[in-house]
Amino acid sequence: MELIASASKTKEILNKYPFVFRKKYGQNFLIDSHVLNKIIEGAEIGREDFVLEIGPGIGSLTQVLSREAKKVVAVEIDSQLIPILEDVLKECDNLEIIHGDILKTDIKKIIEEKNNNQPIKVVANLPYYITTPIIMMLLENKLPVSSITVMIQKEVADRLIARPGTKDYGAITVAVNYYAVPYLVANVPRNCFIPRPNVDSAVIKLELRSEAAVEVKDEELFFKIVKAAFSQRRKKLMNNLISQEITDLSKDELALIFSQLAFDENIRGEMLSIEDFARLTNALKKE
Ligand code: SAM
């Protein structure tokens, strides 16, 4: 079957079926087969794999996933696209299309019922308006997922792979790295999509860790500290911890803990590595 991921085939499908782009759903369809190959290679999709695709659109990525994987379940929110997908991909007999919002879909149940609760791979060209909520939902729910390979805005990808002390390093960097190891698979220019988005993109792969990156006595406190540390980036960490009411300790008591951890009193949150955040959490939990 002819690849959907080309400008000509995409236009042909869009002319053949009734469809109007819905901006609110972040619809930018992939028209470049080289990028498609990079996604498949990056995700290391093989015959054994059960793949969950988020937002199949008109099926450019779905088509190749179905060709390479054992089974593909694709969740699409836009009702206009369901009959198009069912017709265009009717020959893909290992494909199941679900009409729904991925943030309201019971993914745990899908994995339990359709893959015997064995780890699955998530692959998607994500709708950019909800990139972070989707990634965090997949990570925080501790689902049996071995990897997440997704196209996202370049700017967000830069944040996920940032090093401490750089401008891109933030709460999302620490949160994602706590659960997974991120890799940059490819940079993707904006002309690889119809319609052309206003930003460049990148494919990243998150390989989920079997155990969190660091051991913390209180996970909730860890994430509160991380959030507070970046709440006002230019402020000192100590002031952010106090103003965000992370601790009841006085400034002097906090200063003592900082010195025990060998943190400078004036240090800003953006200088802390994930290990530093864990040490700080464990020190504050003890008090
Ligand atoms: N996979 C296709 C491709 O690569 O050409 C389409 C990618 S497009 C960037 C994002 C897709 O996600 C659209 O088809 C959009 O309708 C769908 N979508 C948006 N929000 C969604 C949600 N909450 N749940 C499921 N699908 C969603």
pLDDT tens digit sequence for 130-178:
999 999 999 999 999 999 999 999 999 999 999 999 999 999 999 999 9
For residue 125, report the distance from its CA to the centre of ligand 1, in Å: 7
| Interval 26-30 mean pLDDT | 98
CA of 30 to the centre of ligand 1 (A): 11
Task: Determine what percent of the chain is predicted with pLDDT higher than 70.
Answer: 99
- Whether 230 and 171 have beta carbons less than 8 Å apart is answered as yes
The pLDDT value given to residue 1: 79
Q: Which residue has the tokens 């995409």?
A: 10
Tell me the one-letter amino acid at 113. E
Q: What is the pLDDT of residues 178-226, one digit of tens each?
A: 999 999 999 999 999 999 999 999 999 999 999 999 999 999 999 999 9
Whether the predicted pLDDT of 286 surpasses 90: no
Note the residue count of the chain. 287
* pLDDT for 140: 96
The alpha-helical segments, DSSP class H, found in the chain are: 7-16, 33-43, 60-68, 81-88, 107-115, 131-140, 154-160, 171-179, 219-229, 237-243, 251-260, 274-286
Alpha carbon distances (Å) from 120 to 38, 43, 228, 240: 19, 11, 33, 39
What separation in Å is there between the alpha carbon of 281 and the centre of ligand 1? 38
Q: What is the mean pLDDT of the chain?
A: 97
- In angstroms and rounded to an integer, the radius of gyration of the C-alpha atoms of the chain is 21
Over residues 39-62, the mean pLDDT reads 98
Q: How far apart are CA 114 and CA 126, in angstroms?
A: 23
Minimal CA–CA distance to 53: which of 132, 138, 175? 138
Question: How high is the pLDDT of residue 175?
Answer: 98
The predicted structure's pLDDT at residue 162: 98
- Kindly list the protein residues whose Cβ atom lies closer than 6 A to any atom of ligand 1: 25-30, 54-57, 60-61, 75-78, 81, 101-103, 125, 127, 130
DSSP 141: T
pLDDT digits (tens, 9 = 90+) for 217-265: 999 999 999 999 999 988 999 999 999 999 989 999 999 999 999 999 9
Among the atoms of ligand 1, which is closest to the Cα of residue 193?
A: 5
Please answer whether residues 225 and 246 qualify as being in contact, where contact means their C-beta atoms are separated by less than 8 angstroms.
Answer: yes
Check pLDDT > 60 for residue 287.
no
Could you identify the atom of ligand 1 that is nearest to the CA of residue 57? 14
All structural domains of the chain, each given as residue ranges with its CATH number in brackets, are: 7-208 (3.40.50.150), 219-286 (1.10.8.100)
Instruction: Identify whether the C-beta of residue 75 lies closer than 8 Å to the C-beta of residue 110.
Output: no
The protein residue whose alpha carbon is closest to atom 23 in ligand 1 is: 101
The strand pair at 120-125 and 50-54 is best described as: parallel
**Structural contact between residues 142 and 148, judged by C-beta atoms closer than 8 angstroms:** no
Residue 105 CA, chain-centre distance (Å), reads: 16
What's the token pair of residue 236?
A: 């000192």
